[in-house]
Chains A and B, each alone.
Chain A
Amino acid sequence: MIEKKVTIKNRLGLHARAAVKFVNMANRFSSLVKIVKDGNEIDGKSILGILTLAATQGTEIKLKISGRDEGSACDALTALINNRFDEKE
């Protein structure tokens, strides 16, 4: 299992559009993806879970990924967050 801390950088946070991108990316991998914020752990392939996190700009979250392709899943999801979900700001 890989654990990685990431900070949400885009202005709107993990809003609906970003959550759609995150889930679609996570679904490309067979690994289990969990997101932890303030002790709450949710399924990273569940859009409802992500929205209930209410992760705004500047929030630190932890990705917990386990499975055969955990390495590439972690890289891809981290890159997505760090690239601000392809949003301009």
Chain B
Amino acid sequence: MDIIRLRGIGVSPGIGMGEVVLSERVGFAWRKETIAAHQVDEEIRRMNRAVSKTKDELVRIKNEIKEKMGEEHAFIFDAHLLILRDKSLLASLEKIIKEEKVKAEWALSQINNKYQRVFNSISDEYFKQRKSDISDVLGKISRQLEMKKEIQSEGAAEKILVAHELLPSEAASRFSQGKVLAVALDMGGQTSHTAILARSLNIPAVVGLHDITRNVKRGDYLIVDGTNGEVIVNPPLAVRKEFSGKREKYNKYRKELQKTAKLSSTTLDGEKFFPLANIELPEEVHLALSFGAEGIGLFRSEFLYLQSPTLPSEDDHFSVYSRIAKEAFPAPVYIRTIDIGGEKTLPQLEIEKEPNPALGLRAIRFSLKHKDMFKIQLRAILRASTQGNVRVLIPMVTEIEEVRIVKFLFQEVKEELRSRRVKFDEKIQLGIMIEVPAAAGLTDLLVEEVDYLSIGTNDLIQYYLAVDRSNEYVSYMYKPLHPSVLRLIRFIIRTAVKAGKDVTVCGEMAADPLAAIFLLGFGLRKFSMNPIFIPRIKKALRSVEIRPVEKVVQESLKFKTAQEIEEYVIEKILVKYPGVFLMGQPS
């Protein structure tokens, strides 16, 4: 057995070790197996039994998904159940078995081919894709027919699930049986529904492995490291031992995190701070709150535009925003208007390729060019604000003029709603992202125009240092603790605090314990980050006191390089609070 190490994207942290079970994609019979005339009736009964078992399975999955991910996601199972009850479908299956005297498996594969042809001839892309729903249902029946030999022999043992791709329905049914130790997939990304489901059920998962299904076979031994995004096939004993140790450490760490999530967010000397969550999908709210988030500090609304072939309607926006607002209530939800354009293009609109997307038509610049689209989004946010916990956040502001136009449009939309007697929160707050250095330099003037500020440190640092951190030749210069960056961020935070306005940081700096100490020392109290980092930031900030931190951070700025600053602060903080950085993510 060869050892293979594969790199992917770790989407659900933790370590899972065990034997492989491959989730075969809908396997249809490829060989025509005939039966004797007297076996026809029994074969039809066999098929009907498989159909009714499939129904039971679908009903079970549907209820499960409804509970875990909400009604909207369960709807597709109603469609699948209706396909199962479709008389013409069942009649044609019976007809094939009867007339051709073949096994049910062959009848299923013939019917599947027929419908694939029918749907392929449709020109409308949405309707054409319904062919996958039919394959999915027919494949489930096919799998039920094979149940006896195949899946039951897998027994009760817990295994590592390996697949090319997992549909949310498949993932839910597999996970709910409680036999999945970890997941490794060829396809997928951070925000797929499968990834979110795995995270919420605490099942380690690595996706985007490209060809893992070709590199493993049933019975291989696998280590899935969801924290580091690595999969090891058939590791030698020494490596297995090493990872058992890591797994134990991680599980202990996880327990600790859950405890931390419930503790109050106050510093050692009783100063309150607020950990908030950055999310991309409405399903993440629940997970974020369970990690101790006290609000959604950044909802990236882009997924609404990326999930459907047409532009989202006002109601599409509204149903997502109001769902998040309800689930998070009474905690605040900051909804960022679309940050699209540049390299993140929209399939629905013809967007020109730009020579320099980072400096091009993005975010609010894009929204102000497409004002109708922008107003649809603002209207939906306003309508979702009735409970009073929604805020609007405008990305990538560069100059005062933009803020004035935004405020004018916002006013216009409010007037429209008032005249239609549609309710919204009259006190809804409007804020801007500070991520363009020019805006940072104008903080004192900008802060007068808006209700709050949110500092997007990732982009701000890249623009300020003129360093593209995805460029391997210069990424070493991307330094959040660059003295110039620290001075700028201190200026923004202090200016906002002095003006009595709310300020949040929603870049990666907020999720890094050392950087968070600096932010705290500058006066920041709201830290928004990927929810899985909330416990470690809470732990760090809970172990320090405000005054000493302010003093250390202030003094560190007299050093001339990022390295000197970092060394000075780590040393001073550790002497006073030895436990502060102890809970880094175990690697």
Residues of A within 8 A of B (CB): 11-12, 15-17, 19-20, 23-24, 43, 45-49, 51-52, 54, 56, 87-89
Q: Are B127 and A48 in contact (CB under 8 A)?
A: no
Contact with A along B564-577 (1 / 0, CB 8 A): 00000000000000
Q: Are A20 and B82 in contact (CB under 8 A)?
A: yes
- Chain A: which residue is nearest B78 at the CB level? A20
Chain A to chain B contacts (Cβ below 8 Å), 17 pairs: A16-B76, A16-B79, A16-B133, A17-B75, A19-B79, A43-B88, A47-B86, A48-B83, A48-B89, A52-B119, A52-B122, A54-B122, A54-B124, A54-B128, A87-B315, A88-B315, A89-B313
| Residue from B123, B128, B130, B313 in contact with A16 in the complex, judged by beta carbons closer than 8 Å | B130
**Given A12-B126, A87-B315, 9 extra CB contacts under 8 A:** A16-B76, A16-B133, A24-B82, A43-B87, A51-B130, A52-B118, A52-B122, A88-B315, A89-B315
Q: Are A15 and B126 in contact (CB under 8 A)?
A: yes
CB neighbours (8 Å) of B310 from chain A are 11
Q: Are A54 and B89 in contact (CB under 8 A)?
A: no
Q: Are A48 and B124 in contact (CB under 8 A)?
A: no
| Residue from A15, A19, A48 in contact with B134 in the complex, judged by beta carbons closer than 8 Å | A48
Q: Are A88 and B88 in contact (CB under 8 A)?
A: no
In the bound assembly, the distance between CA atoms of A83 and B275 in angstroms comes to 45
- Give, as a whole number of angstroms, the nearest-CB distance from B34 to chain A: 27
- Chain B: which residue is nearest A45 at the CB level? B87
- Chain B: which residue is nearest A15 at the CB level? B126
Q: Are A56 and B315 in contact (CB under 8 A)?
A: no
CB neighbours (8 Å) of A11 from chain B are 310, 313
Q: Are B79 and A88 in contact (CB under 8 A)?
A: no
Q: Are B82 and A47 in contact (CB under 8 A)?
A: yes
Contact with A along B134-146 (1 / 0, CB 8 A): 1000000000000
- Give, as a whole number of angstroms, the nearest-CB distance from A53 to chain B: 8
The answer, yes or no, to whether B115 is at the interface (CB within 8 Å) is yes
- Chain A: which residue is nearest B84 at the CB level? A47
- Chain A: which residue is nearest B75 at the CB level? A17
Top 10 nearest A-B pairs (CB, nearest first) are A54-B127, A88-B315, A47-B82, A54-B122, A16-B79, A51-B130, A46-B88, A54-B124, A46-B86, A20-B78
- Give, as a whole number of angstroms, the nearest-CB distance from B569 to chain A: 54
CB neighbours (8 Å) of B126 from chain A are 12, 15
Q: Are A20 and B315 in contact (CB under 8 A)?
A: no
| Residue from A17, A54, A89 in contact with B79 in the complex, judged by beta carbons closer than 8 Å | A17
CB neighbours (8 Å) of B123 from chain A are 54
CB neighbours (8 Å) of B118 from chain A are 52
CB neighbours (8 Å) of A89 from chain B are 313, 315
Given contacts A16-B130, A20-B79, A51-B127, contact A88 B313 (CB under 8 A): yes
CB neighbours (8 Å) of A87 from chain B are 315
CB neighbours (8 Å) of B315 from chain A are 87-89
